[in-house]
Every structure is written in C-alpha cells, then in structure tokens.
Amino acid sequence: MNLAILHYHLNRGGVTRVIENQLAALDAVLNPAEPWNVAIIHGGRREGWNEDLAGRLRAIRLSLLEVPLLDYDDVQPDGGRHGPADLLVELYAALGRLNFEPQYTVLHVHNHALGKNRCLPHVVPILAQDGYAELLQIHDFAEDFRPNNYRRLGNPAEAYQQAAGIHYAVLNGRDHDVLCQAGAVAERLHLLPNPVPEIDEPPRRADARRRLQEQFGVAVDDCLMLYPVRGIRRKNIGEALLYSVLAPPGAVVGLTLAPLNPAEAAIYTTWKDLAAELALPCRFELGEPGALSFAENLAACDAILTTSLAEGFGMVFLESWLAGRPLVGRDLPEITSDFVRAGLRLDSLRPQLRVPVDVVGAAAFRDAVAEAYRTTLELFNRVEPPHMADGIDAKIQDGMVDFGDLDEPMQRKVLEAVRQDGRRRQAVLDANAWLAQAFALRADTASQTIRHNADAIRRDYSLIPIGRRLLALYRQVAAAPRDEPPEPLPRTESILDQFLQLDRFRLMRT
C-alpha cells in the first residue's frame, strides 16, 4: 500500500510535529521486511523539518514532494486566486511522479477544512471520486472562533464530504461528538490521538540550573514554574504572570518562546513591559536560540505550568509527566476528559482561576462580553441567541469571575490590584484554595502521581499503541469501497452552533 500525507507546509509547529510522530509510530509497528512507500506532499515551506527523519525510519521509504498551490493562500505568489482545477493538476502530477495509483493509495489529509487554502476542500471529494481512499484528519476547526478562516470556506457544507472511501479522524472526544452531531457515519469517524514519544534523557539538573542562573538570574534554590509555550494570545500569558504574583516567595514563572506573528508579538511585548513595571518574578524567552534548550528547561524546572484557553489536543497535559515534572494550572475539560478516562490524575488543574469582578466592574465586564460576542456572531453571520444576558450573568458567581474570561486590559487591572494590595492577593488565594497545594508540588512530592500518569500515557498514547491504531485505520480506509459518490454531511451547520456556544466564548478568542 502507498501512503500520501498532505499538509500545507512542514514548518516547525503542531501539525508538522504530529506528522513526524505519526511516521515514527507507524514505523515502530511495521515489518521492515515489507516497507511502505510514504510521501509527504506539502506546499514547499519546511523550516524546522527534521531532515534526519527519513534515515531513521526502518520500515518506511519516505519522500517529500512540493506542490506550491497546496500552501496557505496568503503566502502564494498569486494570493490564492487560482482555482481548484489548478491545485488538482499539481496534485495529480505529484501522485503520478510517485506512481501512486488510486487503487493502491491512501491519502491522509491534515486540516483540509481549516480555511487556509480555499481550493483544498473542493479537491478532496474529486480525488475520492477518482478512486483515492482518504483519511481526513481534523486538528483544528475554522468554526472554533476563526471567522476569517470560516469565510474562506465559502459553503461549509461542501468542505465536509463523506463517502464509503472518505473517513475522518479527530483528536479528542469533543471533536468526535461535533462531527457525530453533524451527521458523520459512525463507522467512518475515528478517534486518533496524537502519539506522545518519550522525552529525551535530560541533562544534569545542576548544570541546567547553573545556566539558568547565569543567563536569567534565577537562583539555584528558586522554584521555577515553567510554561513551555510560544506566547500567543490564546495561551493566556496574563494568567501566567498572575501565578507569579500568587505563588509563595522564591517562585519564578518562566516562559520559553516569543510569538512569531507581529500582531501577537505586540500583545506579548505589553505583558513583558508590565512584568518589568510591576517587578514580577517572571523570566521570558528561556527557550530562544542561545538560551536553554528544551531539555535543559525541563531539567531546570520544578513544575510545569499551563494557562492556555484552547488546545486541539493538549500535548502539555501529557508531556509534563513523561518529563518527570508535576503539572499545575488551567484545566480544559473538553480536552482533558479523554486523558482522565485513560487514567491520568490531573488534581492540580482547575478550569477556572477566580478573581473579584469588582476590580474590573461587573457592568463593564458584562458589556464587554455582550459587545464582543455580538460582533463575533456577526462575523459568522449569526444572530444574538435568546437569553444571552442570562448566559453572561452566569459567568459571574459570588462576586467572582474567571480570569480567563477577561480581556488583556481587564487582566492588567487585576494584576496591578493583586500585586499592589495584599488583601486583594489573599482574596484570590482564598477563592482558589487548591492553589496552596499546587504551589507545594515538586518532582519529589508528586513522585507517585508522576509515575502513575507516565504509566498511563505509555500504555495508551506512546508510539506503539498509537502506531497500531494508525496501522489498523489505514488498512480499514484502504479496504473501503471507492465507488460511492461523496456527499456533504447532512448537518454541517451544527458544527458552528456547537463551537459558538456562549459558555465557550472568551474575550481573548476574538
């Protein structure tokens, strides 16, 4: 069997990393005596691609082919003004060069309906009609508060096609439910978590702490809470800064990477400026070139922090335990419920960090949410739902509001108040009593939970179990009939309905 993996680019990032890990997982369960021909067809960008990967694979003969019209519309020379027929010509030429004939080939297409390439959703059903079996893996939805992407889809019904030879794969139970409600046939809808490889053996902690002290002035006996993240908006950087205020003396919060997007970088810089202005025990860009490596940061830290407001899979919820470090911070139940069912204990995470609403003003908060939600609905061509005011009121409970429901100016007000007023700080600690135990966690005090969670991850999410699931899925897709014409999912509008629920809405997702 031939396998062609399609993705817009191979630049460093989430999906590229998933592709690398999936290849490693598949290679781990294939027979080297019966190697597979696998090609990655991409748009041409490959900054950060692991060029050594092909040489390490034992049972996969890997090749890479560039199809420029497969890249994002906004990076193409013509700005994406070409049509689906042009992309189809390029794809057929690439498949022809590979000798990947339809009857012997599975196409694994990543994020086809994200709205980054307006032609790809139209090409997918044509390839299926011509006999290619397809696995469409969705990592992210345009409907998940990405209005610009959503508008590029045109008619969303055309973006989600199904047939006997078209199967879907999703990362989590939430997305599985979303597509089920949209009418995806259960037998052709699969839960395919990301593989989680083992963490490389870390360097000596003493060496990593010495480098940390030399470069960032963090004392060797300080408690480092590491947030290993690129500081984009949905990662909720203001909340990480709030942790630095709430933590006991001697604790330092460290963030690893600056954003690459100029718009994101501007917001990130305001957080750095505020941290300096308030003299917060924070350090930034611990993982940039010339600073500490990822492995050194893991060795140096005492706990790993997460404050993210949205994830597609949530690798941080798994990797921390394999690194031998406890995880504290914000829970995302729509993501982590799968991990809990797999046996993980995430007792030091909570879905809210409650702060007094009077710092920002209850009326101002309600007005900001109402205005932003209406604007967001308009961008998706939706109208205000009934009882919206009641839904907004429900975000305030006992005079407290979730810090993650605030926008950046409001979060700044809370940070300033908590930093400058000890009574405010204590009020937040009292409202989040679980923090005291979370702040006390270290690798030694949480060793039992670390071992338990690491065992559960290796059992269900490591390369071998995911490789077996992936292999079985490819074989199932390859064996599917290919003579059934594609047709849209019957209830595609429900995808948008589910993602736009008010209880999921955050000001920082706008």
Which amino acid is it at 5? I
Q: pLDDT band for position 154 (50/70/90)?
A: confident
Asked whether the beta carbons of 212 and 218 are under 8 A apart, the reply is yes
With 90 as the cut, is the pLDDT of residue 124 above it? yes
Residues 76 and 169 reside in one and the same domain: yes
Backbone φ, ψ for residue 211 (5° rounding): -65, -40
pLDDT at 184: 97
Judge whether 377 lies within some domain: no
**How many Å apart are CA 430 and CA 353, to the nearest integer?**
11
Residues 251 and 284 reside in one and the same domain: yes
Nearest-10 Cα torsion for 380, 382, 385, 390 = 30
Residues 183 and 211 reside in one and the same domain: no
- In 231-358, DSSP assigns E strands to 251-257, 282-283, 303-306, 327-330, 349-350, 354-356
Residues 182 and 212 reside in one and the same domain: no
pLDDT at 1: 87
- Which domain-ending residue is among 442, 457, 472? 457
Residues whose CB falls within 8 Å of the CB of residue 507, separated by 6 or more in sequence, listed in order: 368, 369, 372, 405, 406, 407, 410
Judge whether 411 lies within some domain: no
**How many Å apart are CA 41 and CA 71, to the nearest integer?**
10
**Alpha helices by DSSP H, 247-331:** 262-277, 294-300, 316-322
User: In terms of residue numbers, what domain contains 91?
Assistant: 2-197+462-509
Judge whether 487 lies within some domain: yes
Judge whether 475 lies within some domain: yes
Q: pLDDT band for position 195 (50/70/90)?
A: very high
Asked whether the beta carbons of 270 and 408 are under 8 A apart, the reply is yes
**How many Å apart are CA 15 and CA 45, to the nearest integer?**
13
Residues 11 and 122 reside in one and the same domain: yes
Residues 133 and 218 reside in one and the same domain: no
The mean per-residue pLDDT over the stretch 156-179 comes to 96
pLDDT at 138: 98
Q: pLDDT band for position 202 (50/70/90)?
A: confident
Share of the chain above pLDDT 70, in %: 100
Q: What pLDDT, in 10s, does the model give residues 411-468?
A: 999 999 999 999 999 999 999 999 999 999 999 999 999 999 999 999 999 999 999 9
- Mean of pLDDT over the chain: 96
Q: pLDDT band for position 77 (50/70/90)?
A: confident
Residues 170 and 272 reside in one and the same domain: no
Q: What pLDDT, in 10s, does the model give residues 95-111?
A: 999 999 999 999 999 99
With 90 as the cut, is the pLDDT of residue 483 above it? no
Residues 326 and 443 reside in one and the same domain: yes
Question: CA distances (Å), 298 to each of 14, 247, 390, in order?
Answer: 19, 20, 44
pLDDT at 79: 78
Judge whether 402 lies within some domain: no
Q: What pLDDT, in 10s, does the model give residues 369-405?
A: 999 999 999 999 999 999 999 999 999 999 999 999 9
Question: CA distances (Å), 263 to each of 163, 251, 270, 309, 392, in order?
Answer: 40, 30, 12, 18, 28
Judge whether 102 lies within some domain: yes
Q: How many domains does the chain have?
A: 2
Give the max Cα distance, the chain.
70
Q: Which helix (H) or strand (E) holds 369?
A: helix 362-379
pLDDT at 14: 86
Q: What pLDDT, in 10s, does the model give residues 245-299?
A: 999 999 999 999 999 889 899 999 999 999 999 999 999 999 999 999 999 999 9
Q: pLDDT band for position 12 (50/70/90)?
A: confident
Residues whose CB falls within 8 Å of the CB of residue 283, separated by 6 or more in sequence, listed in order: 216, 217, 218, 252, 253, 254, 255
**The token pair that represents 484 in the structure block:** 């059934």
pLDDT at 163: 96
pLDDT at 21: 97
pLDDT at 253: 98
pLDDT at 469: 98
Q: Would you say how long the chain is, in residues? A: 510
3-state secondary structure of 134: strand
CATH number of the domain that 271 lies in? 3.40.50.2000
Residues 183 and 250 reside in one and the same domain: no
Residues 173 and 223 reside in one and the same domain: no
Judge whether 93 lies within some domain: yes
**How many Å apart are CA 101 and CA 105, to the nearest integer?**
6
Residues 230 and 289 reside in one and the same domain: yes
The mean per-residue pLDDT over the stretch 322-337 comes to 97
Residues 124 and 259 reside in one and the same domain: no
pLDDT at 426: 97
Task: State the pTM of this model.
Answer: 0.95
Dihedral sign for Cα 219, 224, 228, 233, please.
Answer: negative
With 90 as the cut, is the pLDDT of residue 489 above it? yes
**How many Å apart are CA 440 and CA 326, to the nearest integer?**
10
- Which domain-ending residue is among 424, 441, 457? 457
**How many Å apart are CA 358 and CA 404, to the nearest integer?**
16
Judge whether 136 lies within some domain: yes
pLDDT at 81: 83
